[in-house]
Amino acid sequence: MTTTILIIGGVFAVLLLIVGIIVSISSERSLVEERLGQYTEDEIALQAAAADADSSALADWVNVRVEESSWGEGIARNLAQADLKLKPAEYVALMVILIVVFGGIAFVLGGQGVQRLISVGIGVIIALVIPRIYINRQKAQRLQKFNEQLPDMLNLMVNGLRAGFSTVQAMEAVSKELPPPISVEFRRLVQEMQIGIPMEQSLDNLYRRIPSEDLDLIIAAINVQREVGGNLAEILDTISYTIRERVRIKGEIRVLTSQVMYSGRFLSVLPFILGAILWFLNRPYMMMFFNPNTRLCGGILIALIFILISSGYFMMTRVANIEV
C-alpha cells in the first residue's frame, strides 16, 4: 500500500512539473510578444517568427501534419475559439501526456487481468474528457463575454463613422478603446487587413474565431454595405438596438434556466463519477456487472443506464434551450 501511494505521488509530482513548465513557457512567450508588439503592427508575422525561432524542425513538421488533417483543423479551430496559445501538435502532445499519466495511475490501481484493462480504459477516458471540458468552458465564457460587448462596440463604431472615420479606422478605435476579448479580436482583424488580407476574408476569419450569431449579422451588414453602398452608421445603429435587446433577453433567459442546465449536467455526470469511484474503492461490487454469470444482465443494465442518462440530458437541455 505504501509503495502504491509513493508511485501515485511521484506521478502527480511529474504531472505538476510538466504543467508548470508549460505555463511558464507560455507566460514568458506571451510577455515577450506583448512587449515586442509595441514596436510593430505585424503581430502575426512576429508570432510566426517567434515560433520558427523557438520550435524545432521536427515540431514544425508534426504541427503541419496535424493541421492538414480534418481532425487537426477542428482542434485548431477550437483552440482559436478558446483563445488558447497552443498549436494543434502541442495540444495533441498534452493529450498524450495526460493519457499516459492517468492511464498509469489507473494501471497501478487497477488490479489484475480484465480489471486492470477496464481501469486503464477509465483513466484514458478521463484524460480525454478533461481537456475537452476545459476548452468548451473557455469557448462558452469567451463567446458570452464577446456578445455582451457587441452593443458597446457598435455604438463606438457608429460614433466613429458619423465623425468621419473609415470602416477600418472605426474598427481600430474598437481595438484600442474596449476591453478584451473584443479588443483582441478586432486588433487581429485590423492587422490582417493591414498586411493585405481582404476585409471580407478577415471578417470570415473573425467569425471563425468567434461563432456568434450577432457577429454574423454585423458581418453580413458590413459586406452588403461594401457591395451596394448605403449609410453604414445608420445600419449599425439599427442593428445595435436589436442586438442590445437580444443580449438583454438572453441574459434574463440564462438566469432563469441556469439552474436547469447545471442540474442536468451534474445529474448526467454524477453516475459516471460515482461509478469510477466505486470501481477503484469497491471493485468486487462493480465486478457484478462483468462476472460470467451476470454478464448479460450487467451489459443490459449498462446500456440502459447510458440510454436513460442521454435521454434525460437531452430533454433537460431542450427545455432550457430557448431561441431568441
Average pLDDT, the chain: 77
Which of 226, 253, 280 is the last residue before a domain boundary? 253
pLDDT band at 65 (very low <50, low <70, confident <90, very high): low
Q: What whole-number percentage of the chain has pLDDT above 90?
A: 0
Mean pLDDT of 138-167: 87
229: in domain:
yes
Examine residue 110 and state whether it is found in any structural domain, yes or no. no
pLDDT computed for residue 234 by the predictor = 86
Rounded Cα gap, residues 179 and 209, in angstroms: 17
- Give yes or no for a contact between 240 and 155, defined as CB atoms under 8 angstroms apart: yes
Q: What is the domain range of residue 247?
A: 144-253
Is residue 27 in a domain?
yes
Phi first, then psi: give them for residue 41, nearest 5 degrees.
-95, -15
Rounded Cα distance, 110 and 323, in Å: 46
What is the structure's pLDDT at 15? 60
Residue 108 falls inside a structural domain: no
Residue 136 pLDDT > 60, yes or no? yes
Supply the pLDDT for residue 20: 55
The pLDDT of residue 37 is above 60:
no
The rounded distance, in Å, linking the Cα atoms of 285 and 275 is: 11
pLDDT reading at 264 higher than 70: yes
Q: What is the pLDDT of residue 116?
A: 79
pLDDT for 70 = 66
Q: What is the pLDDT of residues 195-236, one digit of tens each?
A: 888 888 989 988 888 888 888 888 988 888 888 877 888 888
Evaluate whether 103 touches 124 at the Cβ level (below 8 Å). Answer: yes
Question: Over the stretch 288-309, which tens digit does the pLDDT of each residue have?
Answer: 877 778 778 888 888 898 888 8
The CATH number of the domain where 222 resides is what? 1.20.81
Q: Using an 8 Å Cβ cutoff, are 206 and 185 in contact?
A: yes
Residue 178 per-residue DSSP state = S
More reliable by pLDDT, 192 or 250: 192
- For residue 231 the three cell numbers come to 449609410
Q: Is residue 128 part of a domain?
A: no
The whole-number average pLDDT for the span 183-202 is: 89
Joined together, the cell numbers standing for residue 17 give: 512539473
* pLDDT tops 80 at residue 254: no
Tell whether the model's pLDDT for residue 268 goes beyond 60.
yes
What's the rounded Cα separation, in Å, for the pair 22 and 90? 10
Query: Region 2-10: what's the mean pLDDT?
Result: 54
Q: Is the pLDDT of residue 49 over 70?
A: no
Rounded-to-integer distance, Cα 220 and Cα 222, Å:
6
Q: C-alpha grid cell for residue 293?
A: 454469470
CB distance 167 to 232 below 8 Å: yes
Q: How far is CA 118 from CA 12, 107, 122, 232, 283, in A?
A: 21, 9, 6, 61, 11
**Residue 308, in any domain of the structure:** no
* Predicted confidence (pLDDT) per residue in 106-120, tens digit: 888 776 767 778 888
**Higher pLDDT pick, 37 / 10:** 10
Q: 218 versus 280: which is more confidently predicted?
A: 218
Phi and psi angles of residue 252, each rounded to the nearest 5 degrees, phi first:
-65, -40
Residue 57's pLDDT is 55
Does 11 map to a domain? yes
Is residue 76 within 8 Å of 247, Cβ to Cβ?
no
- Rounded CA gap, 182 and 195, in Å? 20
Question: Could you tell me if 89 and 73 are in contact, meaning their C-beta atoms sit under 8 angstroms apart?
Answer: no
Domain termination residue (choose one: 238, 253, 268): 253
Q: pLDDT band at 13, cuts 50/70/90? A: low
Number of structural domains found in the chain: 2
199 in a structural domain: yes
* Domain boundary pick from 10, 32, 50: 50
